[in-house]
Structure 1
Amino acid sequence: MTQKAPVIISSESPFASDVFAKRHPALIDRLVAAWPFGPEQRQALFALAEEGVHGVIHPLPDRAADAGLWRDWGSDLYGRPWAEVPFLWAESFFYRRLLEATGYFEPEPWRGIDPFAPFKQAELAGEVVSAEIAALDDVVGLAEAELGQALLLSSLWGNRADLGFQITAGRGNEASGLVADDSARLWELLRSEAGGTVAVVADNAGSEMVADLVLIDHLLTHGLAREAVLHVKPSPYHVSDATLADVADCLRALLLSKGEARAVGERLREAAAIGRLHVRTDTFFCAPFDFTAMPGALRRQFASATVTILKGDLNYRRLIGDRWWEPTIPFAGVTDHFPGRVAALRTLKSDVIVGLEPGALTELNARAPHWRTSGTHAVVQVRS
């Protein structure tokens, strides 16, 4: 295994510092504006925003069902400023504290209410998803290989407002934003091992989940997978991360559409009914650790898959570790801990990156100084 690089501490990264100083307070303002929260909830949310910028980390209240777990997970971190602990841990605990503040785990009436649902639903009802769904009728006539690549790229870029099926159908050039592209290796792997299980670890709800579902349908319909397992978060997380309810909403959007989109929805519903499509979750997906710490049952699931496709920035950080890796270190060397073959489809929105060619790194640093965090670049990386 490759020697590990230093863990990213929030204060050492301008991007991470900005998350706590600006993004989290802005998110809490949006939540307060979107919901009829009572005085206690509002006070708890504003206190969390203030604590994240100027205070120290406080543990969950003892009454919380998972207070013991988090007490152990943060035993040496409580009482320290948020900016002085690992960014991956701090970000994860922020969202757990946010759910505590809104009453997500408390008795009625707020129990189980996704505080991010208004934002997810607005995206699902918006023009981006409508354009993706409509454009399915345009791409369905492509040759299988071309169609598969179009759907793969749409899944990769699915949560970018100016991209989607229309662009991958040939009206634009998404490939120009790829700084590493192993997509040919991924298709070769899927074809050589056709008929097995493909696992997809989801990232975002909304337009990205719609694109993920369409890609899964393609793999099942063309025999590249006998069954697909879609892994989602067990509770709301990182604003837009997909839960089972979000998968259901996206499938419903397909089923309420016309043409090819509705046909996709019907095939997916049938696949679920006969056991070819499974939706699963695990509490580990909301734990503050990278994938080296995953439980044995989850490891065995991924080990048995033909390939596990990890979606998005957070899963990438958890796959390789949220560390200051040298960007040219090989992807395979920092993912050899993962059980089984793995592919990462990730739009870059944080500091960590590996697997780049030296020339590409030099060019990116000169041409686009904020390429790591701007969301304008992406990778498809495979360890087979």
Structure 2
Amino acid sequence: MFNKCIKSFAYFTIKDRLPQILTRVIDTLHRHKNEFFEEHGEKGVEAEKRAISFLSKLRNELQTDKPVTPLEDELPDSALWNQYLDYQRNLPNGNGEPSWFQSPWLYVECYMYRRIHAALAQNPPIDNFDVFKEGKAQNFFESQEAIIALCTYFQELLKNIKDLDEKQLQEELFKLLQVSLWGNKCDLSFSAGEDSSQKSSPLQSLENMIPYILVNDMEKVWSLLVNAKKNRTERSNVRVDIILDNAGFELVSDLVLADFLLSSKLADEVYFHGKSIPWYVSDTTKHDFNWTIKQLGSANHMWMSRCGINWEGNLKKGVWVFRDHMFWTLPHDFSSMSEVAPDLYAELQKSNLLLFKGDLNYRKLTGDRKWECSVPFHQALNKFHPAPLCSLRTLKSDTQVGLKPGQGEEIQASDPEWMYSYKVNSSSSLGT
């Protein structure tokens, strides 16, 4: 999908939203100048100046539609990025030399975040500074009311979970899947870093939001987990993998869902997959993951604290595992994972269920193509199938598959911007 249409959502993203994000990154570095000096002396200030110069040049390249250039750093993924650039150059339906406005939206957006990483990584001693950390922390703190409501609900649920029959367990799973789904609204890259926190309890409005779930495969998820539980042996655990998206409230909703899976014995272990570098403003890194659990554990609210302490215990016991991998921050579609990252593909094959969170993962699952909306999800996956998988995502881009014939046209007629109105539309799609 190329950014040729002057009025396309992709065009406005590249033209307006990405420069705004770069400007915020530059401002963040400016604001931390004194901190860099206090920690590192003049070396810190010089590093900050070099990083800002690098990012200012990048912003100019973007705004003036310059060609996309090879990466010049020596980070572990540089060769793969430069090979991918060669691939883009040689596409039969491409323009030869990729530029910011004449390239696939997904590619140049990922490329910008990789260049932001390079600006810091190449400039020690500030090379480990996360330019998005403040925004992620702010989202967490501004979502306190919703986090308290969710933790309170969950801890009350745990008191009686052993007494719930199968139908009640199913209802609770569906509730927490929906909270995790709607938690995906809290995306700082979509809002260019503006406040996108969850202000109110997400549980109160679930019933009203059901009509906005365009593809609802929760029944299939339930059946899959129940069957896996019945068929497990002493040597095989039921494993669920969650490929994370945003830190902040969404991450807390994912952690609650993961705890429910263990507590209900629908799963024996949960693996979380995050980003190895700061990515798409609010995506979860290992630091964000650990920081969130520590914040909850030290909170002065009883149920928040209980959640954090229990989750720290899950990590220590090994029933929760956090993993990051370079592949998640490459520009490649997931259909190329088995070739580009065979170790990651083999790891995902050990899972009984993969839960992919968010719009970026959905775009990479489906190749970010402008499919007909009625194309089946499994077809759009282009043979990517390490294990049964489900995508939980609110719409923030014009890629959507798995709808019933005519459903897309019907929604389009009532809401022409439905694919970007992430506040009300969402998708839960299972590929088995």
TM-score for both structures, normalised by structure 2: 0.81
Percent identity, please: 30
Name the structure 2 match of 1:70: 81
CA distance in 1, matches of 2:400, 2:289: 29
The answer to whether the Cα contact below 8 Å between 2:176 and 2:257 also exists between their aligned partners in 1 is yes
Alignment length (residue pairs) = 374
Cα distance in 2 for residues equivalent to 1:115 and 1:42: 12
Question: C-alpha displacement at 1:201, in angstroms?
Answer: 0.3
Q: How far 1:70 moved relative to its partner? A: 2.3
Cα deviations by residue, 1:106-142 (Å, 9 ceiling, x for unpaired): 353211111111111111111x233222343245545
1:246 to 278, 288, 292: 288
Residue 383 (structure 1) aligns with = 431
Q: Is there any run of 5+ residues in structure 2 with no aligned partner, and where?
A: 34-47, 90-96, 158-167, 186-195, 230-236
Cα drift, residue 370 of structure 1: 0.8
1:271-294 CA-partner distances (Å, limit 9, x unpaired): 111111100111111111011111
Q: RMSD across aligned C-alpha pairs, in angstroms?
A: 2.1
| 1:296 matched residue in structure 2 | 342
2:184, 2:357 within 8 Å by CA — same for their partners in 1? no
Q: Which residue number in structure 1 is paired with residue 104 of structure 2?
A: 86
Alpha-carbon distance between aligned partners in 2 of 1:184 and 1:373, rounded to the nearest angstrom:
27
Q: CA deviation at 1:312?
A: 0.3
Structure 1 stretches of 4+ with a deviation exceeding 6 A read none
SS of structure 2 residue aligned to 1:83: coil
Distance 1:241 1:226, change over 3 A: same
**Structure having greater relative contact order (Cα 8 Å, sep ≥ 6):** 1
**Normalising by structure 1, what TM-score?**
0.91
Structure 2 equivalent of residue 348 of structure 1: 395
Counterpart CA distance in 1 for 2:58 and 2:324 is 27
Aligned twin of 1:129? 144
Q: 1:32 aligns with which of 21, 26, 30?
A: 26
Q: Which residue of 2 aligns with 1:206?
A: 248
How far is 1:372 from its partner?
0.9
The letter for the 2-side match of 1:60 is L
**How far 1:20 sits from its partner (Å)?**
1.2
Task: Write out aligned runs for 1:1-384 (5 A).
Answer: 8-12=1-5, 14-36=8-30, 38-54=48-64, 55-64=66-75, 66-75=77-86, 77=88, 79-101=97-119, 103=120, 105-126=121-142, 128-138=143-153, 140-141=155-156, 143-160=168-185, 161=196, 166-169=201-204, 173-194=208-229, 195-257=237-299, 258-294=301-337, 295-335=341-381, 336-375=383-422, 376-384=424-432
Relative to structure 2, which stretch is displaced further, 285-294 or 253-262?
A: 253-262
The structural deviation recorded for 1:311 is 0.4
Give the partner amino acid of 1:311.
K
Amino acid at match of 1:180: V
1:168·1:174 contact (CA, 8 Å) conserved in 2? no
Q: Which runs of 5+ in 1 are unaligned?
A: 1-7
Which structure is larger by alpha-carbon Rg, 1 or 2?
A: 2
SS in 1 for 2:245: coil
- Aligned counterpart, 2:191: none
Is contact 1:134–1:261 with CA below 8 Å preserved after alignment?
no
Partner residue, 1:4: none
Q: Provide the rounded CA distance (Å) in 2 between the counterparts of 1:144 and 1:210.
A: 20
